[in-house]
Structure formats: structure tokens, C-alpha cells
Chain A
Amino acid sequence: MAEKISKETVVKVSRLARLSLTTEETERMTAQLAGMLEHFRDIDALDLASVEPMTQPYPLKNVLRKDVELPSLDRDEVLDQAPAAESGRFRVPPTIGFDV
């Protein structure tokens, strides 16, 4: 399994997750994640080469819906819950750079 998690990796992951961790949080998180990942090494001993991953607890397939329209939510009720709205739309701050 992978090497011990570094502070740099924790910072990178926090960026991916859009969390602005404080320096102190990053330190603590690095230590805690390292501890957990160490514990999780118990499965390294297992031979899993021929094991199929399990993603669904109950095997269903082809769950489909007819193409029939239902009424929209009320725009005012929805925008009323938004942190910022304008002209029937949701308002967000500008994008600086192209992070995505």
C-alpha cells in the first residue's frame, strides 16, 4: 500500500475537497489520517486478485422511468433558500483563474 501520507498530500486533498484547513488543522489531520491509514493496512495481507468488487448490496438492473414531465418546483420558493439570487437566477462570485 501507499507510503505514509504527507502534509503536502493533505494540503492537495484539501484543495480538491474545497476545504481551507488552517495550519493547525492540517497538522492534526495529517497525524489522524496517517493513524487511520496505518490501521487500514490490515487488508494489505488479503489476496484480493480474484475477488470481484462489490458496489451494490442488492443486485438490480434496468431501473427506468417513463419520459413523462412533472411540474417544476416553484422558482421563488427555491430562490428564497439561496444564499444569493438575482433576476430569477442564483448569484455567485466571479471565477478567478481556471481551477476546474
Chain B
Amino acid sequence: MQKLVDIVAGVTNGSLKASAVVEEHLARIVARESEIHAFNLVTADQARNDAAKVDEDVKSGKKVGALAGVPIALKDNMCTRGVETTCSSKILQGWKPPYDATVVTKLRAAGAVIMGKTNLDEFAMGSSTENSAFGPTKNPHDVSRVPGGSSGGSAAAVSAGFAAASLGSDTGGSIRQPAALCGVVGVKPTYGVVSRYGLVAFASSLDQIGPFTSDVRDAATLLEVISGHDPMDSTSIPQAAPSLVSVLDHGVAGMRIGRVTDLPEGCEPDVLARLEAAFDALRSAGAIIVDIKLPSIQYCLTAYYLIAPAEASSNLARYDGVRYGNRVEAADLNAMYAATREAGFGEEVKRRIMLGTYALSAGYYDAYYGKALKVRRLISDDFAHAYEKTDVILTPTSPSVAFKFGSKTDNPLAMYLCDVFTIPTNLAGHPAMSVPFGTGANSMPVGVQVLATTLGEQAMFKVAAELERSL
């Protein structure tokens, strides 16, 4: 399968036609999409038009962008003007936004070709894509297994070669966990590096958009394009996008790599073995392994599952059947609200709205939401101490390889435990990425997670590139 950087190079120098690249990807979609269900919508016509436009620009000698001709899939929670954006929810089914998300504008300006909108757990709430109102996405490595979630469609699309790259969103691990389970690279940047404008909010203080690619260089290339300050997002960090591609070959000699000695338990042995192999590889490349402790990490699940649902309960209140989306008619307003929301939201979304509403309600705020914000501070402080001693931290991305459909759907807490290694970085607002690093049980892919401190993307990418080289 073609790398993003090779497509850009070929299309830019005229040796490769963007139209041909798109047709190759569309052919793979035709062959396997009915089995995988990575997409909610494939925008084949628009993709062909966009590719033809790129080819025309190249032919006429116009300067083309940094992603010229690259087929990219978008998680279906990013607004695309005039193109259905559903969040895999019945309540938004059919909604055509009147505006583009900032990342979509940036992709288009860079010459990317948008292939379609990918499946997700409804409103990005889940770790398996089983919570999609439109049916689950299958793991391309074994279609009896989940692709992870919530950005399962975006991970599967890259894994199956439906797109050279895709974008996902990560609130508690929703890019990194499916990347690990599908054997691709997935990056959650520092909170504030990529604009959230036009990303349908799940939990505003945790959400961040990031890339899925088949290798680290592609991820760095794509992230450079989509990051940077956006005046439309008040939480966007006011500084230029970091240079990432330039550091990929720097190596890791002398870098300090943190090993968490009080890592939460419950990890599959094969996954732990791959993590050890990763430490070995980095040590061989001249890095120094240092032990660190993150004592509060054990509370991250509690903090996260109070904070994220609380914010979500407020963010999802706007789906009221008044201005957009679907409505269930009723005789009076409050009956219409309740019927619309009851019919429009799936089980997991309702559960989190309930949990979040409860955590914020009078008499419970201090005991739940208020406390969770303090625990968030403890976790952030733990990281701050750890990063005095180390440059990056290595952990598993997911405690297990891809699991079978239905194996965790009856027990919300078991599903929530999938995110135990990914949640802490969202709470801290730090960057982290999952790099494919061999296989585990049943020959399914295993990902290793590289964590860094705020705006530590360069260190993170250096280590990720080294891990990839070592394979």
C-alpha cells in the first residue's frame, strides 16, 4: 500500500495521477467495504472531482499543497459542508452541516482528497465501534473482532487500504486504542495543537483531533498540516505548528525513556512482552530507561468517567429536535424533547448523559464532578514530576489485542477498562501516540504507546520513529 509521502511526491512531480490513486483506493473499498463497514458515507464522486482538480493543477504548473492527491477519510464527527455528518447517531442522521471544520478546510487547502466519513461509536462514546447506530466496523485483521473505538472506522479505513490516512478524535483513547487494535499509527496531539472548531464535541476539555496513518513519517506529515493556531477555537494554543518530519531521523541516543513501575494491572502477557521488546529496542538505540511512578494513575478511570460524561451531558443537550437533526413529534414541547432524545440516542450515550447529569446536579457536584477535577490535577502533577526525570514514557496502548464482538457489551465497566492506559494523557492534555509493534495473541496487532509532556511532540515522534525502524 502506498505511503502518504510517496503519493504526495509522485503526484507533485507528475509521475503519479491523483485520479489513479483515488481509483485504487475506491477499488479496495468496493472489494471489502461491505465486509468491514469502515464508512458511514463514501464520497466517491466528490473524491474523483477533487483528484481531477489536483491533476489539473499539477498539469498547469500550479503549486499544489503538502497533501496533494492524498486520499483521506474523516471520522464522521467532523463537520463537512453539505455532506452528511452523523456521529453515527440516529439523532443526527441526514444532517448536512452548513460549514466545514477547520481541519477539513486545512486538508482541502493542502490538496487532500476526502474519501468519506468513517464509522464511530455514537458521539465517540465507546471503545469498539459497537455503539454505532449504523452497525459496527470490523477489524480488517480478523473480522470477528472489533477494530477498537471510538474512531474504529478511521483506523480500519487505513488498515484496509481504503484511504492513505484518516483523521480521528481522541477523548480518552479513541485514536490510539483503535490504531493499536488495527495495526496502524495513531496520534493524539497536545490539547490545543489541532483546532476543535467543527469537531462535534464529546468532552470539550479532553477532545483532540489526530491522524491515523500506516507509518510514523506519514503521521508527522499529516499532523504538521492540520495543527496550528485557530482563532475560532479559544483553547487553541497560539503558536505555529511544530516541525515533526525534520526530527524523525534524529535517533534516541541519550534520550530518557520512562518505564511506569506502578502500571495498572490486567494487561495481557503478550502485550507486556511487546512493551519489554520496545524498551529493549530503544536501549539498543542508545536511550536510557528510567523508572518512574504515576501513583494517581489508578484513579484516572474514575476522574475520566465523571468529567467526560459531565461535559458530554451538556454538549449533547443541544440535540433537542429544534434546529437540526431528527425530531419525534409530540403534542407539547417537553414531550417532544424527551421522545426525540429517547429515540435518537443509543444506550451508551444515554448512560453517559445520565451519569454526567447526575455528577453535575445539585447536591452531587462536589462529591463527584468537583472531586474528579481535583483528581485530574493530581494526575497532571504526577506527570509533571515524572517528566522531570524522563523525556517520554512508554506504556501499552491497550491492555489487550482486539477482542471479539459482544465480549464486553454487557458490562460497561469492562469496556471502560480498555482505556486505562490512554485516559491519563487526555486528562493531562499531553500528546501520546500508538505505534504498531508486532503481534500478540491470535496474531493480532499490538501497539506501544509513546507519551510526552505538553508540546513534547518532537521527542514523542523521535521515539516512535526509532521503534518503527527497529522492527
- The answer to whether A81 touches B371 (Cβ under 8 A) is no
- Which candidate, B32-40, B108-116, B334-342, B461-469, is the interface stretch facing chain A? B334-342
Instruction: Report the nearest A residue to B368, measured CB to CB.
Output: A40
Q: Which residues of B are found within 8 Å of A55, using beta-carbon distances? A: 205, 373
Interface 1/0 per residue, A1-42 and B, CB below 8 Å: 110010001100110111111000100010011011101101
Contact of B354 among A1, A14, A43, A96 (CB under 8 A): A14
Q: Which of B238, B299, B322, B334 contacts A43 (CB 8 A)?
A: B299
Question: What residues of B have a CB within 8 angstroms of the CB of A81 in the complex?
Answer: 95-96, 98, 323-324
B374 close to A93 (CB less than 8 A): no
Contact B342–A93 (Cβ < 8 Å): no
**Does B372 touch A at the CB level, under 8 Å?**
yes
Is A17 touching B377 in the complex (CB atoms < 8 A)?
no
Minimum CB–CB distance from A46 to chain B (whole Å) comes to: 7
**Distance to closest chain A CB from B417 (angstroms):** 10
Which residues of the partner chain A approach B448 to less than 8 Å between Cβ atoms?
Answer: none
* A43-B358 CB under 8 A given contacts A18-B341, A54-B380: no
- Interface membership of chain B positions 140-154, coded 1 if the CB is closer than 8 angstroms to chain A and 0 otherwise: 000000000000000
> Which of A1, A19, A43, A54 has a CB less than 8 Å from the CB of B341?
A19
* B372-423 contacts to A (CB < 8 Å): 372-378, 380, 412-413
Q: Which of B185-214 contact A (CB under 8 A)?
A: 190-192, 205-206
- Can you list, as one digit per residue, whether each of B307-325 has a CB less than 8 Å from chain A (1) or not (0)? 0000001000100111111
Q: Which residue of A lies closest to B231 (CB)?
A: A65
Distance of A78 Cα from B323 Cα, bound (Å): 8
Q: Are B342 and A60 in contact (CB under 8 A)?
A: no
Is residue A83 contacting chain B, with contact meaning CB distance below 8 A? yes
A51 to B326, CA, bound (A): 43
Is there a chain B Cβ closer than 8 Å to A52's Cβ? Answer: yes
Interface residue B72 (Cβ < 8 Å from any Cβ of A):
no
Q: Does B439 contact A (CB under 8 A)?
A: no
Report if A46-B235 is in contact (Cβ < 8 Å); known contacts: A33-B358, A36-B355: no
Instruction: Pick the residue among B99, B339, B345, B375 that contacts A48 (CB under 8 A).
Output: B375
Q: Are B98 and A78 in contact (CB under 8 A)?
A: yes
A–B complex contacts, Cβ < 8 Å, 23 sampled: A17-B313, A17-B317, A18-B320, A29-B351, A32-B351, A33-B354, A43-B375, A51-B374, A56-B429, A57-B191, A57-B206, A57-B380, A57-B427, A57-B428, A57-B429, A58-B191, A58-B192, A58-B429, A78-B323, A81-B95, A93-B332, A96-B333, A99-B334
14 more A-B residue pairs beyond the given contacts A48-B378, A60-B234, with a C-beta to C-beta distance below 8 A:
A5-B358, A17-B317, A18-B337, A19-B342, A19-B345, A20-B335, A33-B358, A36-B355, A36-B412, A57-B429, A83-B327, A90-B322, A93-B332, A94-B333
